[in-house]
Structure 1
Amino acid sequence: MIGIRNYRPADASALRTIFSDTIRRINVADYCEAEVEAWAAGGRDCSVWQQKMDAIAPFIAEADGEIVGYADLQQDGLIDHFFCHHNYQGKGVGRRLMAHIFSVGQSLGISRYYSMVSITARPFYERFGFNVVKAQTVEIGGQRLRNFHMERVVD
């Protein structure tokens, strides 16, 4: 059973591991090794990571007490981070997180959700009604990575 709860500052370290491991084990299918390492390096500085997680306050997905994923929703509809543990891909973690995001978003009156989505995550977001606004290239750690600005508008 996958449960969703609110973030606690003590979660940051586990989220950092999920972030870097997912990029290295899952996103490597769509990005070269140099791109993967530059992207995953975003979690290296523990104090910067802690500040980022405290700022976005993501929702935490747990299975049997283990953190297996996380995702946030900002007041303007931005989903900044959305990551599932590599061992829990395809097991409903992302689906539960997205359902929670939409539920919270509805209560906040959010009518437009948007995110900068990796090549890897694009099909997942499309299953939830997101459309590509534009393909783009972003620079991370000296590497140029392709991703997609995607959005979902709720009537």
Structure 2
Amino acid sequence: MVRSLLTEGEVHLRGYQPEDAPALWRLFFDTVRRVNRRDYSAAQVEAWASEDIDPLDWQALLDHNRPFIVEQSGRILGYADVQPDGLIDHFFCHWQAQGKGVGTRLMVHIELQAQRLDLNALHAHVSLTAEPFFKRFGFEVVKREVVQVRGQSLPRCLMRKDLSSK
């Protein structure tokens, strides 16, 4: 099934539509619960991707962030956003599409958007799991931090990529 995610039909990028919110929540939930377990405990991922996340709050977040989506034959493989200040708030790839080029497609689009917005830098609060991926794209750790989420301490890092020399 993993191979079929990127071999059946054209992969394309599109803008977010409000009706995407439930599918993006499922992708976020499944990815954190399956992939981030490599670097976080069961209690940490259950707090981070909680079944108690209010669907209306999730919808409002996505309506505000306006992510872009990589999909194939109607199946969402990943999504990400970049905000006007250069913040990458969400960046998630389907757990079965990890290492298949979806993240690269999203990051290339983020950098194109950053050029369009005339940004000098990009920054993101990055999980331990995603840190190596962001490093491959030239992001550097600015600081390590621990955030509290539903009673759990989650380590992460603030990463930044300077775009001013481009």
TM-score, normalized by length of structure 2? Answer: 0.91
Q: Secondary structure at the match of 2:108?
A: helix
Distance 2:25 2:16 in 1: 13
Q: Distance in 1 between matches of 2:51 and 2:107?
A: 23
How far is the alpha carbon of 1:43 from its aligned partner? 6.8
**2:50 aligned counterpart, secondary structure:** helix
- 1:19 pairs with 2:28: yes
Q: Structure 2: which 5+ residue stretches go unaligned?
A: 1-9
User: Is 1:73 aligned with 2:75?
Assistant: no
Which of residues 141, 150, 165 in structure 2 aligns to 1:141? 150
Indicate the SS of the match to 1:3.
strand
State the AA in 2 paired with 1:100.
H
Q: Is the 8 A contact 1:60 1:71 kept in 2?
A: yes
* Number of corresponding residues: 155
Q: Who is 1:106 aligned against?
A: 115
Query: Of the two, which has the highest radius of gyration?
Result: 2
CA distance in 1, matches of 2:131, 2:54: 28
Q: CA RMSD in A?
A: 1.0
5+ residue gaps, structure 1, are none
Identity %: 50
What does the per-residue CA deviation read over 1:48-72, in whole Å, with 9 as the maximum and x for residues that have no partner?
A: 1000100101011101221111000
Quote the Cα distance in structure 2 between the aligned partners of 1:48 and 1:105: 27
Q: Which runs of 4+ in 1 moved over 6 A?
A: none
Question: How many Å separate the matches in 2 of 1:43 and 1:98?
Answer: 30
Mapping 1:56-135, distance limit 5 Å: 56-135=65-144
Partner of 1:40: 49
The superposition leaves residues 17-46 of structure 1 with CA deviations (integer Å, 9 ceiling, x where unpaired) of: 010100000001100000000000177211
